[in-house]
Amino acid sequence: MSADPDTLEELEHLVSKMLEQTLSQKEKARLNELLLDSKAARALYHEILDNHEALCSIYPGEVFNSALETENEIIRPEPPRVTAPLARFPSLPMIASAAAIAIAFITAFAFLNPKEDAQNTASNSNQSSDTVARLIASVDAVWQDAAPAPGSSLPPGSYSLEQGSADLKFDEGARITLRGPARFNLKSANHLHLLSGKMVAYIPEDALGFAVTTPQSEIVDLGTEFGLDVVADGRTDIHVMDGLVEVYSRNASSDTEKILQTGIKIEEGQARRLESADALRLQDIPFFTREQILGNRRFENLGLSLLRGSVKVRNDFATQDIYETISEQSRIEVIPESEGVLLEQDAVVTFTEPGKYRFFGPTGKTIPAGTKVDSFLLHFRSDEMKIIRGVIKFDRPILGLICESDQLAATDALVGLASVDYPSASYSFRSLEPHNYKQVSNLPAYDTGGGLSADEVTLSQDMTTLGLHVNVIPNEGMDQLRVLVLSKD
Amino acid sequence: MTTPENDEPSPNNGDLAMEITSIQPRLYGFILKRLADREYTLEVLQRTNLVLCRKANEFQKGSSFTAWAFTIAKFQIMAWRKDEGRNRLVFTEDVYALLDRSSADEADSVDRRIPVLKGCLNRLRQDERELIQQRYRDGLSIEALAGNLQYSIDAIGMRLLRIRKKLGTCIRLNLNTEGQHER
């Protein structure tokens, strides 16, 4: 029962190792011993683990990344082992390929968007049997053919991202952000062929051996992060942000190519250009950072940590988009607005607390003056009669939701985009419906998906996650919702 | 048409999906405390999620979803310990029993820590906060962190231990002062 400081010190060490999954058998036995003998040790164990749980709640990466990593293993019980084209750097065994967690997790999301799942399956008939990567998120993405939804699995094949950016996570662990226009081919879970466009690859240690090929080169990452800018049949620029990269050429007709056949190494902070106008040439060029290659408005900078369902992030929103519905636009668009706006007076909002809301109307809620906020406009239009569903998780707490036309109008000038002419306050259809119970009784059951039904908004207990079921009149209606989150400044 | 037994999504499944999603970190923490192993925890979390989906219609609206989910998780942990996990247990039966607490106390303890921890995270040094973010927000393993930062796994482990200690002290201090204000 003693609270011997050495014992507690030892316990802290062991628990820390446990959290990092580096505990040996011997240490496990010792942990048992300490916890069995000392009440103080047990109290400290609870304290550390409660703190860990709190930390996981604030930053749920450990939980959700593990889920994403293993999702595919469930869909296909025996993932086909794709042989890397470059056997020189075989992948290290996947570290602790965590036991499949995500079945129920996926099931849960499937409820959210059964229709979309059906569509995805239809467009990629071999999707479930053979996928190599997952689309984690996209910003302003316009795809030439099939437009994958965030969260969907991608089969091998050719893709053309005409504009915007897309974040992919390969099944073998590599994370790639592409900036359109980009044409690429997903060859396998550890091989991407980039025909043209810009991208940055982040390769965690357990995905080492991931290969990117371009028309001019083969690039093997020896650890961490590099960027590419490829002009088809012209040149490949390689910028190494972190770690070390090796570049090879497949042919050996010129001197440069002979050098490249054995490989050149490019180190952190260096950049090289491979030109193939006539013969292949190699030259030093100024180094670009990740931001310089990808631009600033990327998913990771937007303050969003998870998107599910029919959700699309847009940075190119313009006035006409408020009034026009383009085909296949049955989705929720997330439009990042102003950041770091200091409220000079109390801002009138609709909701400030966790809960599920089906009725909208003035609530008297406010966000106090002096608060600094970032704003996101959510915009819903539809070209068919169906409920649009989505989940959006922010990486900072939501302070308030604005669902009312007059409240939207009152905040347009303050937090809206300067380039957009927002509808005037009299445009009352802009808000979510219904506003009272009477309106509800005139509506068909809300899950029919076919008629005008009640909008529904759910705010999670921790105020970071927003669930949406919205429904607008096809091609005519337009609903908007503004989310104010605590500014990151 | 829809019987309670089949898996037809009911109108509430969308909300349930969201509740289940948002409670994942808490369930993960709850199970991890009892199994002391990340892989086994993910295994049991998956089973718990399945049961939560299957038993969705048994959830009493208006009651605490967290409490309900924790109860289901507890049963799944016990089942796992008796069955598949039997040969992989970290904690002996004695220690497991000694560590058990009431789910409500446990949930409350974590609930109180979250807002305090947010403040404490802001007080960390920039490099410390970045490491915590990479480890927790980005979900990078200690191996990946060691690779990125070119430190040994042990060195990263020590840095994380120190930061956890620092956060722990900060939380303890602030939880206490909070308690004094209430009095």
What percent of chain A shows pLDDT beyond 70? 70
Please give the pLDDT value at position B63. Answer: 81
Instruction: Return the exposure string of A310-330: e unless at least 16 CB atoms fall within 10 Å of the residue's CB, then b.
Output: bbbbbbebeeebbeebeeebb
Gap from A98 CA to chain B (nearest CA, Å): 5
Question: Model confidence over B26-85: pLDDT tens digits?
Answer: 999 999 999 999 889 998 998 999 898 888 888 887 788 898 999 999 999 999 999 888
Using a CB-CB cut-off of 8 Å, the residues of chain B touching A48 are: 164, 168
Query: What is the overall mean pLDDT for chain A?
Result: 74
Please give the pLDDT value at position A373. Answer: 94
pLDDT bin (cut points 50, 70, 90) of residue A283 is confident
Least CB–CB distance from A17: residue in B30, B157, B171:
B157
Residue in B with minimal Cα distance to A308 = B18
pLDDT at residue A81 is higher than 50:
no
Task: Name which of B10, B20, B21, B43 to mutate to probe chain A: the one with the most chain A Cβ atoms within 10 A of its Cβ.
Answer: B21
More confident residue, A33 or A438: A33
pLDDT bin (cut points 50, 70, 90) of residue A65 is low
Looking at the complex, does the CB of residue A1 fall below 8 Å from at least one CB of chain B? no
A200-214, A295-309, A467-481, range with the lowest pLDDT: A295-309
pLDDT at residue B179 is higher than 90:
no
Among A11-25, A77-91, A456-470, B165-179, top mean pLDDT goes to A11-25
Please give the pLDDT value at position A312. Answer: 79
Which A residues in the span 46-85 are in contact with B, Cβ-Cβ below 8 Å? 46-67, 70
* A67 with B24: Cβ contact below 8 A: yes
Task: Please tell me the distance from the alpha carbon of residue B91 to that of residue B85, in angstroms, as a whole number.
Answer: 11
DSSP H/E element including A202: strand A191-203
Please give the pLDDT value at position A99. Answer: 23
Among A54-68, A134-148, A347-361, A466-480, top mean pLDDT goes to A347-361
Looking at the complex, does the CB of residue A447 fall below 8 Å from at least one CB of chain B? yes
Please give the pLDDT value at position B30. Answer: 96
Task: Please tell me the distance from the alpha carbon of residue A284 to that of residue A294, in angstroms, as a whole number.
Answer: 20
* B98 with A107: Cβ contact below 8 A: no
pLDDT (average), residues A288-303: 74
pLDDT (average), residues A271-295: 80
User: What are the distances in angstroms from CA A459 to CA A110, A336, A392, B26, B48?
Assistant: 20, 19, 10, 17, 23
* A95 with B46: Cβ contact below 8 A: no
Please give the pLDDT value at position A40. Answer: 94
pLDDT (average), residues A105-112: 31
More confident residue, A442 or A16: A16
Please give the pLDDT value at position B109. Answer: 94
Burial of A129 (0-12, 13-18, 19+ CB in 10 A): exposed
pLDDT at residue B103 is higher than 60:
yes
More confident residue, A2 or B101: B101
Least CB–CB distance from A58: residue in B98, B118, B147:
B118
The residue count for chain B: 183
* A60 with B94: Cβ contact below 8 A: no
pLDDT bin (cut points 50, 70, 90) of residue A11 is very high
* A51 with B161: Cβ contact below 8 A: no
pLDDT bin (cut points 50, 70, 90) of residue B113 is very high
* B46 with A356: Cβ contact below 8 A: no
Task: Please tell me the distance from the alpha carbon of residue A180 to that of residue A199, in angstroms, as a whole number.
Answer: 9
Query: Quick one: which of B128, B135, B124 has its CA closest to B159?
Result: B128
Which A residues in the span 324-363 are in contact with B, Cβ-Cβ below 8 Å? 356
Please give the pLDDT value at position A109. Answer: 34
Contacts of A129 (CB under 8 A, 6+ apart): A76
pLDDT (average), residues B88-111: 92
Question: Model confidence over A210-232: pLDDT tens digits?
Answer: 788 888 777 776 667 899 998 87
More confident residue, A320 or B175: B175
Please give the pLDDT value at position A41. Answer: 95
Please give the pLDDT value at position A322. Answer: 73
Using a CB-CB cut-off of 8 Å, the residues of chain B touching A303 are: none
More confident residue, B41 or A261: B41
Please give the pLDDT value at position A357. Answer: 84
End-to-end CA distance of chain A: 47
More confident residue, B3 or A301: A301
3-state secondary structure chain B: CCCCCCCCCCCCHHHHHHHHHHHHHHHHHHHHHHHCCHHHHHHHHHHHHHHHHHCHHHCCCCCCHHHHHHHHHHHHHHHHHHCHHHHHCCCCHHHHHHHCCCHHHHHHHHHHHHHHHHHHHHHCCHHHHHHHHHHHHCCCCHHHHHHHHCCCHHHHHHHHHHHHHHHHHHHHHHHHHHHHHHC
Contacts of A144 (CB under 8 A, 6+ apart): A159, A160, A161, A162
pLDDT (average), residues A424-446: 52
* A205 with B147: Cβ contact below 8 A: yes
Please give the pLDDT value at position A446. Answer: 37
Please give the pLDDT value at position A79. Answer: 30
A161-170, A263-272, A334-343, B96-105, range with the lowest pLDDT: A263-272
Please give the pLDDT value at position B132. Answer: 93
Using a CB-CB cut-off of 8 Å, the residues of chain A touching B18 are: 112, 391, 458, 460, 465, 467
Query: Quick one: which of B58, B20, B50 has its CA closest to A74?
Result: B50
Please give the pLDDT value at position A254. Answer: 57
Instruction: Return the exposure string of B124-142: e unless at least 16 CB atoms fall within 10 Å of the residue's CB, then b.
Output: beeebeebbbbbbbbbbbb
User: What are the distances in angstroms from CA A109 to CA A56, B18, B130?
Assistant: 21, 8, 31
pLDDT at residue A332 is higher than 60:
yes
Question: Model confidence over A189-214: pLDDT tens digits?
Answer: 888 999 999 999 988 777 766 788 88
Please give the pLDDT value at position A56. Answer: 92
Gap from A237 CA to chain B (nearest CA, Å): 23
Structure tokens at A244: 């070390």
User: What are the distances in angstroms from CA A202 to CA A212, A290, A483?
Assistant: 12, 10, 31
pLDDT bin (cut points 50, 70, 90) of residue B1 is very low
Contact by Cβ (8 Å): B149, A225: no
pLDDT at residue A385 is higher than 50:
yes
Among A5-14, A89-98, A255-264, B54-63, top mean pLDDT goes to A5-14
pLDDT bin (cut points 50, 70, 90) of residue A250 is low
A111-115, A128-132, B52-56, range with the lowest pLDDT: A111-115
pLDDT at residue B139 is higher than 50:
yes
pLDDT at residue A75 is higher than 70:
no
Looking at the complex, does the CB of residue A21 fall below 8 Å from at least one CB of chain B? yes
Task: Please tell me the distance from the alpha carbon of residue B160 to that of residue B147, in angstroms, as a whole number.
Answer: 15
Query: What is the overall mean pLDDT for chain B?
Result: 84
pLDDT at residue A251 is higher than 80:
no
* A55 with B141: Cβ contact below 8 A: no
Contact by Cβ (8 Å): B106, B30: yes
* B20 with A104: Cβ contact below 8 A: yes
pLDDT at residue A299 is higher than 60:
yes
Please give the pLDDT value at position A63. Answer: 79
